[in-house]
Amino acid sequence: MAKKYNICLDVGGTKVLGAIFNEKDEIIYRLKKRSKGGGEGSADVEQVIISVVEEMIRESGIDRDELHAIASCAPGVIDQNAGVVLFTPNLPWRNYDIRAKMEQRFGVPFFVGNDVNLGVLGEYKFGAARGYRNVVGFFVGTGMGGGLILNGELYTGNQFKAAEYGHMILDPEGPLCNCGQRGCLEAFSSKQGMSAYVRQQVSRGRESLLADAVQDGVFRSKKLKKALAAGDAVATEAVDRACHYLAVATGNMINTLSPDLVLYGGGVIEAMGELFLEKILAEVDRYCMPQIRSTVELKIAELGDDSILYGDLALIKGL
């Protein structure tokens, strides 16, 4: 029987998103489940992933024998060749051999890569970054990830550890990051960073519509959008602070790499990308050389939730 279907997964700090692609690279079925991320053990996150795959196969009606491969992302440092998640700050995985677990369970090849590497690859092969040779990608979600296309190829560095510029230190005395360092871009500009800022301000007696939403974790992007629309001062400050540090980081990457394109994606950007891009554009010129800035475009990813799924597909197909 022809192996014509691929299952692609986006495993994040708070959700698992899955899609089935047919032989024409079209999504024919999708499913999204919430997970508790760092609050669960590795086996629990694994079970959520397995349940998503099993449910998609069952509910879509595809024949298991027609399944060609499965691919997934994970946030953090991943040995792409071995299929091992070495470290991820927002999930409870350390030296975790996810490939062996999944191949044993489903009996088909399993591929895994860093989430934002694959998100940028997806946009490069199928989305907003098509036609560009050098792309810097910032993906703003629960955490903050980076991905690089250099000279038309996904750049993963020594042992697939490159492009962790969500952990570029912008203030050595800044807020503590999940990676253990202080003042990382992620600690300022991710949902975790913005949520921590809101919690701090609320603890000082200030009021915010996000107070309940951040009490035990991170806000949902839709709630942030509503708070901003209502003129919530604390929420506005959190976003302004996030965009300021994104502008600083963008300027650093422009000066370092002189890319053709800087691309912004992830759940926060999908929800309010135009606002973030407007604020970044208002500041970024202060932080990079004008001669280099003049040849760089700044854009929003166009595949939304699907950018990583298409990156998974590119990984399976060897694109």
Say how many C-beta atoms besides its own lie within 10 A of residue 130's C-beta.
Answer: 11
What tens digit of pLDDT does each residue of 188-231 get? 999 999 999 999 999 999 999 999 999 888 898 999 999 999 99
Report the candidate in 210, 208, 178 with the shortest Cα–Cα distance to residue 193: 178
pLDDT at 44: 75
- Matching residue, tokens 């350390």: 94
pLDDT at 161: 87
What tens digit of pLDDT does each residue of 163-188 get? 989 999 999 999 999 889 999 999 99
- In SS3 terms, 76-135 reads as CEEECCCCEEEECCCCCCEEECHHHHHHHHHCCCEEEEEHHHHHHHHHHHHCCCCCCCCE
Q: Nearest 10 degrees: CA dihedral of 102, 105, 109, 113? A: -10
pLDDT at 1: 66
Structural domains present in the chain: 5-116+307-317 (3.30.420.40), 128-302 (3.30.420.40)
Lookup: tokens for 232: 């919530």
Q: Which of 15-19, 76-80, 312-316 shows the lowest mean pLDDT across its residues?
A: 76-80
